[in-house]
Amino acid sequence: MILGTLITDGSSRLMTTADLLAADDRCHRCGFYSRDWQPARLQPNEALRLAVDTGLMSTEDDPGQTAGDEVMTLAADRGLDVTGSPYESAVHHAALSDIIVTVLRERKAPYTRPADAKGKSLTWVSSAFLAASNVRLEAVLLVDRWNEDRKWSVLHSWRVLGECAFYEQPMTLTVVLVGQRREGKHSSPWSKGWLHPRSRTLRIRKRTGEGFGGEWKPVWREEADHLSRDLWLDTMREDGVMPDVVFDIDVPAPCPEYAAKVRHLAEKKVTALHSTVEKPDPNISVCSWPTKCPFLDCCWEFHEPSEASGFITICH
């Protein structure tokens, strides 16, 4: 995925995305490297995000299947940055993207991106979607957990506030809880259920809120070929878990004065980033938090990103 680059039409206008600004916010060196490089291998969650976007915008008859196929394609073409089995991780995330896209596409026809937004010296390439009304943005956020701190961090992010500021539109933010990843798999109702070995009954959650015991056995969706996607979704609805794992947040449009200040800040930061010649110092306290920086090994082993060290160049 292209984070940011120079337009090649001979103009001096820069173009950027929320991801490039987020990388620079995290660490100026991360932003500096992100102008030209990205890891060859994808983090599983990034492959999941890209595949969900593909499924949401797909015009195929089964967009969920399209999303799942995209995970497998990315895993084959780019590879997944995992410690366990890349194939098992790919199959798990393919099944996860399939069921998520199927639910979200029940709401509307194929999602579409808004046209690029033009600033004074910057072209904003959106990672959001445009609602059918053409006067509201939509975004899908995949998270492992959700709380008030995470909520306000997201609402103040470039993927939400930045998008709303450049288009001066409100946003419907759809939050999808995929569960924490342990041993390469996300444990959530999207992926994990309980199966009775004799009756072959599938359950996702007891209505009493209690756990499953006795003869009930855990089952992962990708390992249960006999359980159809429709059956899994029907069970999620019957057991009342849908409101807990997918919900909308209404984000109002910022007032024009505030939106202008956010746009000005974006242009100032991107201009400074693209004019930087000397490699910035790293922010070592955020190398591994809240997630591992894609350039961590470069910084700590004192070498530059290169194809030999597992990176690919961003096409300018």
CA distance 167 to 137: 8
174 inside domain: yes
Most distant CA pair in the chain: distance in Å?
A: 69
pLDDT tens digits, 218-276: 999 999 988 999 999 999 999 999 999 999 999 999 999 999 999 999 999 999 999 99
* pLDDT of the residue at 2: 37
On whether both 176 and 195 belong to a single domain, the answer is: no
On whether both 83 and 119 belong to a single domain, the answer is: yes
- How confident is the model over 94-105, as a mean pLDDT? 98
- pLDDT over threshold 50, residue 141: yes
pLDDT tens digits, 145-204: 999 999 999 999 999 999 999 999 999 999 999 999 998 999 999 999 999 988 889 999
On whether both 47 and 140 belong to a single domain, the answer is: yes
On whether both 47 and 117 belong to a single domain, the answer is: yes
- pLDDT over threshold 50, residue 138: yes
On whether both 61 and 172 belong to a single domain, the answer is: yes
Six-digit token pair at 122? 């910057």
Q: For the whole model, what pTM was predicted? A: 0.93
Provide the mean pLDDT of the chain: 93
CB-side neighbour CA atoms (13 Å) of 98: 21
Confidence label for 18 from pLDDT (cuts 50, 70 and 90): very high
81 inside domain: yes
9 inside domain: no
Structurally, the chain folds into a number of domains equal to 2
On whether both 197 and 174 belong to a single domain, the answer is: no
8 inside domain: no
* pLDDT of the residue at 200: 87
5 inside domain: no
* pLDDT of the residue at 209: 66
CATH code, domain with 21: 3.90.320
Lowest mean pLDDT among 199-213, 264-278, 298-312: 199-213
- pLDDT over threshold 50, residue 11: no
On whether both 107 and 209 belong to a single domain, the answer is: no
Q: Which DSSP string corresponds to 31-47?
A: HHHHTTEEESSBPHHHH
Which of 218 and 10 is assigned the larger pLDDT? 218
On whether both 114 and 167 belong to a single domain, the answer is: yes
CA distance 16 to 13: 10
On whether both 162 and 217 belong to a single domain, the answer is: no
- How confident is the model over 294-310, as a mean pLDDT? 94
On whether both 230 and 255 belong to a single domain, the answer is: no
6 inside domain: no
301 inside domain: no
Which of 62 and 109 is assigned the larger pLDDT? 62
CA distance 185 to 178: 10
On whether both 195 and 226 belong to a single domain, the answer is: yes
135 inside domain: yes
On whether both 71 and 205 belong to a single domain, the answer is: no
Our CA dihedral for 54, 178, 170, 106, rounded to 10 degrees, sits at: 60
Query: Tokens 């878990």 — which residue?
Result: 241
Which residue range is the domain that position 226 belongs to? Answer: 190-238
- How confident is the model over 290-296, as a mean pLDDT? 92
Q: Are 193 and 204 contacting, i.e. CB atoms less than 8 angstroms apart?
A: yes
pLDDT tens digits, 165-180: 999 999 999 999 999 9
